[in-house]
Structure 1
Amino acid sequence: MVTGAGPEAGPIRVCLVDDHAVVRRGLRGYLELLDDIEVVGEAGDGQAALDTVAALETEHRTPHVVLMDLLMPGLDGVTATRLLTQRYPAVAVMAMTSYSEVDRIRGALEAGASGYLLKDAEADEVAEGIRKAHRREMPLGTAVSRQLARAFSATGQAALGTLTAREHEVLALIAAGLSNREIASRLVISERTARTHVSSILDKLGLRSRTQAALYAVQQGLSPAAPLR
């Protein structure tokens, strides 16, 4: 099975998933004005999204990015996100919803979403979010970032100053989406050592998962090109 869209040149292929046809029409109308983005499919619920992506795969038009509503009848967006990212690892799913509660944001990201935007985001913010998701960055809308920042502050996360220089480097690479094996290769260390660093980071920062670690790093402005010392 082809596991996702390849790196070939051309516009970013996008599939729109929302149970409101008017929302899909609005998004399509704007995105079709852009030279670097092509809408290749639409779906009105999670199961239809899975079916649509499967059909597009057979046509060799697997989407690079899926814009996924979270609250839909039938198969919900979070479950559809989890299934899509499992079946098509190269497809980036960006959650879009009207709700900015931290639990919803975390639920979507834990399910494999590459980013999270609110439906009241400006059109150019949505387009830039698609581009970031395609680059394997983590687009987070301004309101979403504020919510996460408050959540991290409210739960008393430990300061970055508790991490060693090497752990700063590892945390920045987690934020860039690298696996333990990729981190090991980048830093010329063993995969076991990379796992040890990740476990230590989660323990020191009081986080439960790599996704939360990535979010924390994004909030703190860590960059793999310029890790904190």
Structure 2
Amino acid sequence: MRGIPTVLVEQSTLFREGLCKLLAKRGFLVIAMASSVDELDAATLPDVEAELIIVGAKDDDTWLEKNIRALRTRFPDTQIVVLADRYNPDQVHTAFRLSARGYLMKTISSSTLIKSLELVMLGESIFPSAILTRIVNDHGLDIEIADEIAAEIPPISHSSRTLSAREMQILQCLVRGQSNKMIARSLDIVEATVKVHIKAILRKIQVQNRTQAAIWAINRLEPVSRPINASVAGKANGMSLLP
């Protein structure tokens, strides 16, 4: 079986089926679909362990919280991403509080959705920056976000300089979610050299941090065989904010 085992929880049958076909073409294997968590019984789910669950959000905030809680109880180690029809600050807060890894709009492009899901599987959390900032202010949350990772995803640049072979290697390591120490060990170089290369990469491709570099690479380089699970990636220590 190939692809990331994925479960879809979405009321709209048409949307579910369309999303299933889209995901199947991009490395995600939908193993079960349902309109609510209550429908995900033992007969519905195969023996394969789900690694990603996508939940379609209704306007009913209570419904979303109930379903995420139920999913988190049944699938404690599975990444959960919410797909919403419209921005709802209360829902974003609920998703964030219940350890969902992303809150995305159904109006985004298919390519942005796939890139976001790939980043989630690399250990990142994807939330809309404007809404998350409002939540921080309204609810007094103490959220510390590393400067290296917390930056809005930039538009694609086509004016980057040529990367060296070593820089390409390191860029692929960033896509895999490896730390500087892991990169140094795998390439048999010192960590200080890795830092120098990363600074050069960021300058050449005109991005600000490692996450943006990974997004840039996903858009341009040959994809890795499969995005690795966050537990393998070392559970990346930050979050990405969508504009």
**TM-score normalised by length of structure 2:** 0.53
Shift of 1:111: 2.2
Q: What is the DSSP-based 3-state SS (H/G/I as helix, E as strand, rest coil) of the residue aligned with 1:94?
A: strand
Asked if residue 45 in structure 1 is aligned to residue 36 in structure 2, the reply is yes
Q: 2:75 aligns with which of 77, 82, 88?
A: 88
Contact persistence 1:46–1:76 (CA under 8 A):
no
Match of 1:77 in 2: 64
Contact persistence 2:89–2:134 (CA under 8 A):
no
Q: What is the DSSP-based 3-state SS (H/G/I as helix, E as strand, rest coil) of the residue aligned with 2:126?
A: coil
Distance 1:38 1:157 in 2: 36
Q: What pairs with 1:1-229 in structure 2 (closer than 5 Å)?
A: 10-34=2-26, 36-49=27-40, 51=41, 55-56=44-45, 59-71=46-58, 76-140=63-127, 144-152=128-136, 172=146, 218=239
Q: What is the DSSP-based 3-state SS (H/G/I as helix, E as strand, rest coil) of the residue aligned with 2:123?
A: coil
Percent of aligned positions that are identical: 20
1:31 maps to amino acid: L
Q: Tell me which moved more, 16-25 or 85-94.
A: 85-94
Shift of 1:101: 2.1
Question: Which 4+ residue blocks in structure 1 deviate beyond 4 angstroms?
Answer: 153-158
Q: In structure 2, do the counterparts of structure 1 residues 76 and 155 end up closer, same or farther at CA, with 3 Å as the change threshold? A: closer
1:87 maps to amino acid: R
Shift of 1:41: 1.2
Query: How many pairs are equivalent?
Result: 153
Shift of 1:29: 1.9
The structure whose residues are more often helix, as a share, is 1
1:147 maps to amino acid: I
Match of 1:197 in 2: none
Distance 2:108 2:83 in 1: 9
Shift of 1:154: 6.8
Shift of 1:44: 0.9
Which string of whole-angstrom CA distances, capped at 9 and with x for unpartnered residues, describes residues 88-120 of structure 1?
221111011113121110012212311110111
Shift of 1:156: 8.1
> RMSD of aligned C-alpha atoms?
3.6
1:39 maps to amino acid: V
Residue segments in structure 1 that go unaligned for 5+ positions in a row? 1-8, 161-167, 177-216, 221-229
Contact persistence 2:82–2:102 (CA under 8 A):
yes
2:103 maps to amino acid: Y
Q: In structure 2, do the counterparts of structure 1 residues 113 and 20 end up closer, same or farther at CA, with 3 Å as the change threshold? A: same
Residue segments in structure 2 that go unaligned for 5+ positions in a row? 151-237
Distance 2:132 2:33 in 1: 30
Contact persistence 1:114–1:133 (CA under 8 A):
yes
Contact persistence 2:120–2:126 (CA under 8 A):
yes
Match of 1:207 in 2: none
Contact persistence 1:13–1:62 (CA under 8 A):
yes
The structure showing larger relative contact order (alpha-carbon pairs under 8 Å, at least 6 residues apart) is 2
Distance 1:85 1:157 in 2: 22
